[in-house]
Amino acid sequence: MADGATMRHAGAVTDASTPRRDRLRELLDAVLDEDNTDLGQMAAGAHLSPYHFSRELRRGSGESPVALRRRVMLERAAWRLGQGASVTEAAEAAGYQSVEAFSRRFARAYGRPPSRSIGDHWLAAPNGIHFHPPDSLWVHTSTPALDPVTDVLVRHDLDDTDQLIQVLAGLPDQVVRDVRLPGHRPVDFDRPEESVLDLVDGIVWTKEIWGASFAGKDLPVRVATDDVTLPALVERQARVREQWWDILADLHRRKAWQDRLIDALCDPPESFVVSTVIAHVLTHSIQRRQTVRLLLDCAGVDIDRGDPILWWRDQLTHRTKELP
């Protein structure tokens, strides 16, 4: 988040037809707005008296406005320090008037001075609300671990994408690049995917952008349609495959499937339940992969049907052969 920018957040996914008012999100917006430095300003930003503002926020989050703001700003400062910011820069961005005051508060919170690395920047919180880089909030909720069905879907998705890319590598450029679905747009807010190569690029791109959001990295820039190449797609898929597994392993370890990623880079800011993001990625990947098969079949290319049952049987066969 750029210094001086307003730190805005959302707290619930909106309804498909009519936006739904999310009062907790509005309260968080007021708490974390960088122009609101005291309780009176926070309350005014939410159009409430300080008393009613404090009561509503504590009821919704279990934390007072001042305490929540101080903690999240410290978490952001800890992350900035880990990215190479100086103690002075981190203190100023967190709203402290002096480096000494910031250092004392930081040391009390983390048990070490800001000049020393802390690793994880999350502090203990009664509500699971934490700073998530570069400009978001993460709301942590304990949930059951990944179930076997989802595990199979995720593994099959990655393997099947690898296979489709290998198939495309052996086909004439005309089959791969010709426009076959004019104006076809699998996702409303993304660009059209009119060729077989466009669709496979979309599978990889979706994981790239969500992977960046989960990892707290800057969003990647999508390569222009005419500049997408199969060799580059092979490399991107290899990176995405490894990153996606790391992300899922971390979510599994933290039992974070019902956590919320509150993304302030959206306009307006929007929150996403982690499990629905994984479902979104898988749904659109399946749609694209099966559309690719349909187009290749119409072009006379012999290709399998992408059935997870057959894929799983093949996995078992290979594993059996590898046994001593």
Give the CA angle between residues 14, 278, 23 to the nearest 5°: 25
Q: If you average pLDDT over every residue of the chain, what do you get?
A: 83
The SS3 of residue 198 is helix
| CB-count burial class (<10 Å; 0-12, 13-18, 19+) for 172 | exposed
What Rg do the C-alpha atoms of the chain give, in angstroms? 23
Between these two residues, 145 and 240, which has the higher pLDDT value? 240
Cα–Cα distance for residue pair 275/214, rounded to 1 Å: 12
Contacts of residues 98-105 at CB distance under 8 Å and 24 or more positions apart, as own/partner, are 102/77, 105/70, 105/74
Q: What does the pLDDT read at residue 317?
A: 64
311 pLDDT above the threshold of 70: yes
One CATH from 1.20.120.450, 3.40.50.10800, 3.30.750.24, 1.10.3720.10 for 148-322: 1.20.120.450
Q: Against a cut of 0.85, is the pTM above it? A: no
12 pLDDT above the threshold of 80: no
Which residue ranges make up each domain of the chain?
A: 23-127, 148-322
Q: Which residue has the tokens 């306009």?
A: 267
pLDDT in tens, 37-78: 888 998 898 888 988 888 888 877 888 888 899 999 999 999
Q: Taking the domain 23-127, which CATH number applies?
A: 1.10.10.60
